[in-house]
Each structure stands twice: as structure tokens, then as C-alpha cells.
Amino acid sequence: MEIVIQTLSRWYNLESRDLPWRHTRDPYLIWVSEIILQQTRVAQGLSYYERFVSQLPDIQSLARVDEGEVLKLWQGLGYYSRARNMHRAARMVVDELNGVFPSTFQDIQRLPGVGLYTAAAIASFAFGEKVPAIDGNVKRVGARLFGLFDDIQSQSFQKKLFLLLQDAMKTADANIFNQAMIELGATLCTPTQPQCDVCPLADACIARLQQLQKQLPVSQKKQKPVNKYFYYVDIRCGNQHAVVRRPDQGIWSHLHEFPLLEGDSDAWELDRVLGEWGIVEKLTVEGQKSFKHQLTHQTIHAKCWYLCLPDNKFVQADGWQWLEEASILSLPLHRLMEKMIRFT
């Protein structure tokens, strides 16, 4: 196995992608990159990373700003709980740990929003701790390399792979080993059509030797997304629009949007929507638009009506704010709200 590890390390040093977070041992910068890359492809996440660390270059600067600024920087990435947890974690490090980022696998896991993989990545990349960093790419590589037929989401698979990788990396540089395994899964050992002919682990890979690449890894079928029906109204009065801040719980918490009602079907019409708010004022309908927005476990079918009130006839409803469009655009918004604003 030691020869295999050496071959993997040489391949990584020669063939790996040049990414900014790989040129640092700063745990803050590594942490930011890892959180951004959760549920986000490198090509999309790179520009967000560069913008984020240019404006918030260290954990002290992240802790100082308010949550709204963090969410605005995160706008468009989705999974906004990642940004909220980062902000909470930064304040925890500054307030409780004297601004010193924790340096061990166990201690890093105590930060809000940090799971096993992220803690292992930071511990190994920044501090050289010999702990396997197992993300989706490494699960796929490991299942094929070691011939593991347990479902990759199962605890048994996770435990087996952790022990196998922990043993394999005993004599390896922890940073290079984990980076190389992740890189291998991202670039060569892909879900379909793995490039076994140029893989540095080909001679040791059970899946390749037994022609099991299509059978491994084993994974249960994904859950079918649930349909949700969202009804929005963009009510304009003069040059101001009604907006609301989403509640603490649920998707897009603390982000801003037009007033919303969630329906139980796609058949709601404007009169019913306005009636739910008790709006009786005369409104001019300037247009309407339907949107389909896909989340991991939800398909949102949204309709937005663009309405106009007579000047100075503001409607007051719980939580509504009346703001000019420039002020709305300065708020943290979710991607569907961006689409609706662009339509206006």
C-alpha cells in the first residue's frame, strides 16, 4: 500500500488543479473554502471564495460584521444556513477561544455547522492531523478501491472506509493524502465513465481489476423532490415595493422577498391570495409570471403577480416593509427573489 500512496502523491503534485485554498495552511481560509464547496461545484464556488475572503480576510472580521452582510456575500450560493453557521462559529471562536481557531479534529467539530468531513479536512489540511476526510468523492473512490458493497450512506460503509483510509495514511502526509483522494474523485474517478486508464490507483483498485466500476459505489435511490406552491405579490406604490423578511425556520431563513402565501396546489388565483391578507384596496394588475425553482428536496412552483396601488395608498400587513428597489437590492435575497425582481 505504501507504494500506492507514493504513486497517488506524485500524481497529485503533478496533476491537481491549482486552487487558492491549496496554497495556505490558514485554518480560517481552508474552513471558508470547505463550507462554500459544500453542495457547490468548484467552478461556481471559486469566485464566491475570492470575494468572501477579500472582504472578510480573517475570523475577526467575519465575527465583527452583522449577519445581513454575510448573507449578502453568500447570495446566490443557496443553503444559507451554511453562512449563518459560519457567522455563529466566528463569533464563538472570537468570544470563547480568544480568536484562536481550534486545531484538532475533535475540537473543530464543536463549531456550529462543522461535521465530520469538514473537521477532518481542516485538521489535516491546516494542521497535518492524520484523520481521513471523507466526502462524496472519497466515498466513491474508496468503494471502488477497496471493493465495498455496503450502501455508501450507511454507517457500516462509513466506519469501514474510515478505518481503511486511516490505516493507509499512517505513513503519508495527511494534507496531500486527503487532497489527492478528493481530487481523484473529482477529476478521474467520476460517477460515470471513470478514467481508469490514467488513474494512479488503477493497479490496486478492486473495482477495476474485477470490472465492477458500474456496480460501485452502491447507493439507494434519491428521494423524489416534494412539490411546493408559492404565491407572491409584488405590490408597488409609487416607487416603493412591499417586502418581508423570512422567518427563522425553514428554507431561506432571514432572507428577504415579496409577500408570500404557500398554497396546497397550483390552482390559486389572485383574488384568493389577496383575500388571505384581507386586502380590499383597488389594485392595478401590471402582469404576472410563473417560475419553477429546484432545490435538493423540493420543487417550488411559484407565481408572482405584479400589482400597483394608487400613490400614498400603502397597504399595511404584518411584517411588511415598503422600500425602493435600490434598497431591496442591497438586502440579502434568495435566488428565486432575484429572478422575480429581474422580471420587473
- Report the catalytic residues: 34
Cβ-Cβ contacts under 8 Å for 316 (sequence gap 6 or more) = none
**Residues 63, 64, 68, 71, CA torsion sign:** negative
Q: Tell me which residue has cell 473537521.
A: 119
The neighbouring-strand residues paired with 301 are 229, 292
Distance between CA 236 and CA 305 in Å, rounded? 11
- Is the backbone peptide bond immediately before 217 cis, with ω within 30 degrees of 0? yes
Strands (E), the chain: 226-237, 240-245, 256-257, 260-263, 284-294, 298-309, 321-324
Specify whether the CB–CB gap between 235 and 307 falls below 8 A: yes
Calpha distance 87→245 (Å, rounded): 19
CB atoms within 10 A of CB 160: 16
Task: Tell me the three cell numbers of residue 51.
Answer: 470575494
Question: 3-class DSSP state for residue 332?
Answer: coil
| Kind of pairing between the strands at 298-309 and 226-237 | parallel
Q: State how beta strands 298-309 and 321-324 pair.
A: unpaired
Q: Give the residue from 82, 27, 23, 75 showing the smallest Cα distance to 48.
A: 75
Torsion angles phi and psi, residue 236, rounded to 5: -105, 135
Distance CA 190, CA 198 (A): 13
